[in-house]
Amino acid sequence: MPMHSTSKQLWRDVQVFDGLAQLDEAMNVLVEDGRIAGLWPSRTFDEALAQGAVEVGSGGVMTPGLVDCHTHLVYAGNRAGEFEQRLEGVSYETIARNGGGILSSVRATRTASEDELIAASLPRLDALLADGVTTLEIKSGYGLTVESELKMLRVARRLGELRPVRVLTTLLGAHALPPEYAGRADDYVSLVCDEMIPAAARERLADAVDVFCEGIGFSPAQCERVFQAARAHGLAIKAHAEQLSNLGGSALAARYGALSADHIEYLDEAGVRAMAEAGTVAVLLPGAFHVLRETQLPPIELLRQYGVPMAVASDANPGTSPICMPTLMANLACTLFRLTPREALAGMTAHGARALGLHDLGCIAVGAPADLCLWGIRQPAELAYAVQAGRLRQRVFNGVVTYAR
Annotated binding site for 4-imidazolone-5-propanoate: 79, 142, 175, 243, 320
- Say how far apart CA 355 and CA 137 lie, in whole Å: 10
Q: Which stretch binds ligand NIG (CB under 6 A): 51-59, 146-154, 317-325, 366-374?
A: 317-325
- Say how far apart CA 382 and CA 377 lie, in whole Å: 7
Work out whether 315 is an interface residue with ligand NIG (CB under 6 A). yes
Collect all residues with Cβ–Cβ distance below 8 Å to 267 and sequence separation of at least 6: 241, 242, 246, 250, 261, 275, 282, 298, 299, 302
Work out whether 350 is an interface residue with ligand NIG (CB under 6 A). no
Comparing every residue's Cβ against ligand NIG, the nearest one is: 319
Work out whether 260 is an interface residue with ligand NIG (CB under 6 A). no
52: left (phi over 0), alpha (psi -120 to 50) or beta: left
Work out whether 315 is an interface residue with Fe ion (CB under 5 A). yes
Instruction: Assign 283 to helix, strand or coil.
Output: strand
Work out whether 240 is an interface residue with ligand NIG (CB under 6 A). yes
Work out whether 243 is an interface residue with ligand NIG (CB under 6 A). yes
Instruction: Identify whether the C-beta of residue 176 lies closer than 8 Å to the C-beta of residue 216.
Output: yes
Amino acid at site 44: T
Binding residue (CB under 6 A) for ligand NIG from 60, 286, 298, 319: 319
Handedness of CA 231, 233, 238, 244 (dihedral sign): negative
Q: Is 198 exposed, middle or buried (0-12, 13-18, 19+ CB in 10 A)?
A: middle
Work out whether 64 is an interface residue with ligand NIG (CB under 6 A). no
Work out whether 318 is an interface residue with ligand NIG (CB under 6 A). yes
Binding residue (CB under 6 A) for ligand NIG from 320, 327, 331, 402: 320
Instruction: Identify whether the C-beta of residue 400 lies closer than 8 Å to the C-beta of residue 5.
Output: yes
Bridge partners of 139, per DSSP, are 170
Q: Which stretch binds ligand NIG (CB under 6 A): 151-159, 265-273, 313-321, 346-354?
A: 313-321
Binding residue (CB under 6 A) for ligand NIG from 223, 288, 324, 330: 288
Binding residues: 70, 72, 79, 142, 175, 240, 243, 315, 317, 319-320
Query: What is the length of the chain?
Result: 405
Q: How many chain residues interact with Fe ion (CB under 5 A)?
A: 1
x-marked contacts with ligand NIG along 72-91 as a string, rule CB under 6 A? x-------------------
Residues making contact with ligand NIG (CB under 6 A): 72, 101-102, 105, 212, 240, 243, 288, 315, 317-320
